[in-house]
């Protein structure tokens, strides 16, 4: 009962656990993910076969990328409610450009470059209104999301323009017997590893820990936050590429619903919404958790009218577990 303060408060092993959770805040999410994959496999063995997994990655790669996009702004304590609208806009832009210029190999790359630029510009616009004009991020990016959606509707008033066959056949196909999306996943992983080491990542996190403090320390806070939004725009564009590859068409509304899921994924991954703390890997895991919850709900045979409720409840439960376990472990 009477704890002596001379003795270390925590045993060595529990402080090792604490350190692990501190270094890898996505650990709780990883555990949830592994359990979910196991359950998917249990209820529908084919879902964890190569084909099943390829399908799952194809479907959720875009959400993974968008969750990563969202992570960079959340690092700095900001948020981007327009991320999904950027996906839609880039989607119609690249489909439009490919359609316009024929859709062979070269024009596809040109279109993708234009798409990246579009995402970047959208991100910079968000950065300008949030960081430079100092509008509140939630409302300001909601406003830009309406604007971007309007622009997408202007470019392509109705869903359905097809993307060139070469483009989606490549995305959905195989190279050397290995599905193309796996190469994408590997590239994506490399990109993340590289970005973790950048100054921008560290400085975004520092800004997230306290804008005023960061400013007083001499950091160019406005520029850093704009950098976060710009990066978000670029990753949203990458997400749009994946959506386009998987849907083979342009749709001015395609990304709209992804925004809130991208935020949920970031939190599932163990990052702090308040900024200053988190990892992009966690966000990727968070996106996968959402995906595997959705498929598991079907594979266990949930009656259709209950599917939305069970999904919603499971995601809420995962969010709560993640937040609680993470905090417990780090405390």
Residues 120-139 that bind another protein (CB under 8 A): 129, 133-136, 138-139
Q: How many residues bind another protein (CB under 8 A)?
A: 119
Q: Give the SS3 label for residue 292.
A: helix
Q: Is 140 in the site for another protein (CB under 8 A)?
A: yes
- Please enumerate in sequence order all residues whose Cβ is within 8 A of that of 52, keeping only pairs 6 or more positions apart, or say none: 44, 46
* Gap between the Cα atoms of 12 and 18, Å rounded: 10
Give the tokens for residue 81.
Answer: 């409610």
Stretch that binds another protein, among 104-112, 115-123, 179-187, 271-279 (CB under 8 A): 271-279
Work out whether 50 is an interface residue with another protein (CB under 8 A): no
Q: Please state, in angstroms and rounded to a whole number, the distance separating the CA atoms of residues 53 and 291.
A: 11
Q: Which is nearer to another protein, 87 or 114 (CB)?
A: 87
Burial label, 123 (beta-carbon count in 10 A; 0-12, 13-18, 19+): buried
Binders of another protein among residues 59 to 118 (CB under 8 A) are 59-60, 62-63, 81
Among 96-104, 112-120, 185-193, 266-274, the segment contacting another protein (CB under 8 A): 266-274
* Contact code string over 288-307 relative to another protein, x by CB under 8 A: ---x--xx--xx---xxxxx
Maximum distance among all Cα pairs of the chain, rounded to whole angstroms: 79
With respect to another protein, which residue has the nearer C-beta, 118 or 295? 295
Helix (H) or strand (E) holding 174: strand 174-175
List the x/- string, 164-193, binding to another protein by CB under 8 A.
----x--xx---------------------
| Segment interacting with another protein (CB under 8 A) among 97-105, 110-118, 180-188, 270-278 | 270-278
Which residues, other chains included, contact 209 with Cβ-Cβ below 8 Å and sequence gap of 6+?
Answer: 275, 276, 277
Site membership for another protein, residue 251 (CB under 8 A): yes
Angle between helices 27-43 and 12-23 (to 10 degrees): 80
Helix (H, G, I), strand (E, B) or coil at 218: coil
CA pair distance 247, 214, nearest whole angstrom: 43
Q: How far is the CB of 129 from another protein (least distance, A)?
A: 6
> Among residues 181, 206, 288, 289, which is the contact residue for another protein, using CB under 8 A?
206
Copy the structure tokens of residue 117: 């630029």
Q: Out of 10, 11, 34, 46, which residue is the one contacting another protein (CB under 8 A)?
A: 46
Query: Which residues are 174's β-sheet partners?
Result: 179
Sole residue written with tokens 């960061």? 214
Among 109, 178, 213, 300, binds another protein (CB under 8 A): 213
252 binds another protein, rule: CB under 8 A: yes
**Of 96-104, 111-119, 213-221, 279-287: span binding another protein (CB under 8 A):** 213-221
Q: What is the dihedral sign for C-alpha 238, 243, 248, 253?
A: negative
Smallest gap from residue 109 Cβ to another protein (A): 20
Contact window for another protein (CB under 8 A) among 27-35, 96-104, 113-121, 311-319: 311-319
Give the range of 26-34, 43-51, 105-113, 177-185 binding another protein by CB under 8 A.
43-51
Residue 331 as a binder of another protein (CB under 8 A): the answer is no
Q: Which residues pair with 179 in a beta bridge?
A: 174
- Residue 53 tokens, joined: 């997994």
Kindly report the length of the chain.
Answer: 331
């Amino acid at each position: 009962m009477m704890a002596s303060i001379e003795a270390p408060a925590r045993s060595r092993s529990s402080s090792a656990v604490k350190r692990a959770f501190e270094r890898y805040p996505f650990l709780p999410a990883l555990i949830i993910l592994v359990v979910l994959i196991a359950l998917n496999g249990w209820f529908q063995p084919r879902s964890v076969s190569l084909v099943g997994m390829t399908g799952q990655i194809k479907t959720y790669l875009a959400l993974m990328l968008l969750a990563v996009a969202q992570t960079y702004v959340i690092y700095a304590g900001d948020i981007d409610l327009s991320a999904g609208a950027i996906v839609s806009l880039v989607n119609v832009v690249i489909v439009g450009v490919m359609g316009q210029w024929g859709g062979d190999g070269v024009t596809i790359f040109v279109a993708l470059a234009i798409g990246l630029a579009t995402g970047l510009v959208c991100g910079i616009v968000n950065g300008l209104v949030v960081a430079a004009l100092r509008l509140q991020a939630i409302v300001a990016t909601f406003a830009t999301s309406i604007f971007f959606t309007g622009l997408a509707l202007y470019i392509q008033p109705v869903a359905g323009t097809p993307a060139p066959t070469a483009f989606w056949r490549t995305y959905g196909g195989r190279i050397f017997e290995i599905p193309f999306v796996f190469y994408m996943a590997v590239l994506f992983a490399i990109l993340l590893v590289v970005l973790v080491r950048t100054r921008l990542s560290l400085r975004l996190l520092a800004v997230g820990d306290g804008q005023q403090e960061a400013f007083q320390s001499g950091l160019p806070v406005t520029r850093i936050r704009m950098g976060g939004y710009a990066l978000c725009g670029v990753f949203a564009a990458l997400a749009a590429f994946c959506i386009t590859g998987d849907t083979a068409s342009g749709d001015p509304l395609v990304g709209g619903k992804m925004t809130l899921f991208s935020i949920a994924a970031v939190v599932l991954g163990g990052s702090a919404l308040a900024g200053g703390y988190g990892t992009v890997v966690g966000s990727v895991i968070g996106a996968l958790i959402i995906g595997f919850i959705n498929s598991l709900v079907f594979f266990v045979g949930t009656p259709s009218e209950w599917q939305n409720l069970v999904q919603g409840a499971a995601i809420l439960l995962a969010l709560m577990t993640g937040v609680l376990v993470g905090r417990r472990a780090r405390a």
